[in-house]
């Protein structure tokens, strides 16, 4: 998949898995989301979460980390094979961001992206707009995180 024309609705990209350690959960939350249930098991016991769990923004940031790593691997592979590499443009934004279940310390979350829409851009003929549902699923198969993303993908030169 190098250009907009190479994608089709239903394509799924596995971005990889990530285990959230207690240490990293606390470090992220201390900097950006210092609520008691993100800082210690003791603080979480008094909440409806029950035990230490990650900030929702941490769960989202790890999606980004794995997406960037995937893009780098993908680009390196295309370059190694001598294939052209379509550019990714800016994202117009994200919708329907949902944190459906807690991500607890020790949980392993597997992230994937599924293409749900492909639209040519009239105003920007070099680009197509791809819509994807991004999900994070824990080791029990529960969806813990999802959002709808949009990104411009370069079209194959005519």
Question: For residues 118 and 3, what is the distance between their CA atoms, to the nearest angstrom?
Answer: 12
Query: Is there a contact between 25 and 38 (Cβ–Cβ < 8 Å)?
Result: yes
From the CB of residue 156, how many other CB atoms can be counted at a distance below 10 Å? Answer: 13
- Site map for a copy of itself, 80-119, x if CB under 8 A? ----------xxxxxxxxxx--------------------
48 lies in the site for a copy of itself, by CB under 8 A: yes
Element (H, E) at 36: none
Among 9, 12, 19, 32, binds a copy of itself (CB under 8 A): 32
**Residue 8 beta carbon to a copy of itself: minimum distance, rounded to whole angstroms:** 26
The piece of 2-10, 31-39, 104-112, 126-134 that touches a copy of itself (CB under 8 A) is 31-39
Q: What angle do CA 66, 70, 74 make, to 5 degrees?
A: 175
- What residues line the site for a copy of itself (CB under 8 A)? 31-35, 48, 55, 57, 60-62, 64-65, 68, 90-99, 147
């Amino acid at each position: 998949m190098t250009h907009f024309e190479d994608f089709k609705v239903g394509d799924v990209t596995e971005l990889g898995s990530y285990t959230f350690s207690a240490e990293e959960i606390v470090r992220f939350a201390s900097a950006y989301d210092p609520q008691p249930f993100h800082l210690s098991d003791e603080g979480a016991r008094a909440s409806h979460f029950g035990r230490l769990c990650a900030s929702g923004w941490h769960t989202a940031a790890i999606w980004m980390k794995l997406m960037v790593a995937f893009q780098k691997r993908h680009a390196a592979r295309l370059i190694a094979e001598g294939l052209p590499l379509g550019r990714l443009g800016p994202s117009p934004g994200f919708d329907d961001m949902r944190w459906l279940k807690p991500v607890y310390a020790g949980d392993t979350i597997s992230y994937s992206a599924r293409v749900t829409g492909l639209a040519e851009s009239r105003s920007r003929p070099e680009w197509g707009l791809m819509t994807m549902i991004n999900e994070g699923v824990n080791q029990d198969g529960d969806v813990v995180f999802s959002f709808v993303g949009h990104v411009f993908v370069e079209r194959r030169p005519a």
